[in-house]
Amino acid sequence: MASILAGLVGGLLATVVMTALMMTIGDDSPPPTAAFWSKYVGDDPPAEYMMQGMVLHFLYGTVAGIVFVLVVPLVLSVSTLTAGIIAGLAYAIVLFVVAAVFWMRLVLGMEPELQQVVGFLAFHLAYGLVLGGVVGLNVL
């Protein structure tokens, strides 16, 4: 079984890569975590809570990496690089569905356009690729 350290490091590194992609090829809109902060904590528009949103984003991504090493090996192998990547991509799809359906639609009441949804999926797949790769390397 992969270590919690591998999940922590993998989740953090995967979040860095995901965030870099979001900032490079995204639409410059505040992340859903900034919208969450705006709706439930602050009184200003989401753009005013970019820093808080990024902190939440990194916290979620890191915790999701830990959850990955604790839960995914119960159903999928992560014992090799290839298996880790496949498991990471499958996990990313689950995270995307939870984020898109539960968080964006139900919690935040957002109705993203198709282009945003496709980007959101691509960013989550990049996250899963990196997370699964780090965990599958079995070096931590």
pTM over 0.85: yes
Residues with pLDDT less than 50, the chain: none
Residue 95 CA from chain centroid, whole number: 7
Average pLDDT, the chain: 94
pLDDT in tens, 95-116: 999 998 888 889 999 988 898 8
Amino acid 29: pLDDT? 84
Amino acid 27: pLDDT? 81
Amino acid 133: pLDDT? 97
Range(s) of the domain holding residue 62:
4-136
Contacts of 21 (CB under 8 A, 6+ apart): 122, 123, 126
Domain count, the chain: 1
Amino acid 112: pLDDT? 86
DSSP 57-111: HHHHHHHHHHHHHHHGGGTS--SSHHHHHHHHHHHHHHHHHIIIIIIIIIIS---
Nearest-CA neighbor of 8 among 73, 65, 85?
A: 65
Contact 65, 107 (CB under 8 A): no
Residue 2 CA from chain centroid, whole number: 19
